[in-house]
Amino acid sequence: MPNDYSVWMTKREKILHTTLELIANQSIQATPMSQIAKESGVATGTIYHHFASKEEIVQQIYLSTKQDFQRIIQSNLHPSQNVKSQFISLWKSIYEYYINNPLAFRFVQQVNYSPYINETTRAEAQQYYQEVYQFFEAGIKAGHFVEMEVVLIGELIHGNISTLVEMQLNNMLEQPESQIQHAIEFSWNAIKV
- Per-residue model confidence (pLDDT) at position 77: 86
DSSP codes joined into one string, 180-192: HHHHHHHHHHHHB
- Per-residue model confidence (pLDDT) at position 120: 95
Q: 5 falls in which pLDDT band (50, 70, 90)?
A: low
- Per-residue model confidence (pLDDT) at position 7: 63
What residue ranges do the domains of the chain occupy?
Answer: 1-51, 54-191
Q: 9 falls in which pLDDT band (50, 70, 90)?
A: confident
Q: What is the mean pLDDT of the segment spanning 61-69?
A: 94
- Cα–Cα nearest to 73, from 92, 55, 59: 92
| Fold category of 54-191 in CATH | Tetracycline Repressor; domain 2 (1.10.357)
The answer to whether 188 and 87 are in contact (CB under 8 A) is: yes
Q: How far, in Å, CA of 162 to CA of 140, rounded?
A: 24
Architecture in CATH of 1-51: Orthogonal Bundle (1.10)
The answer to whether 66 and 128 are in contact (CB under 8 A) is: yes
The answer to whether 23 and 110 are in contact (CB under 8 A) is: yes
The DSSP letter of residue 29 is: T
pTM: 0.88
Residue 102 has pLDDT above 80, yes or no: yes
- Per-residue model confidence (pLDDT) at position 4: 54
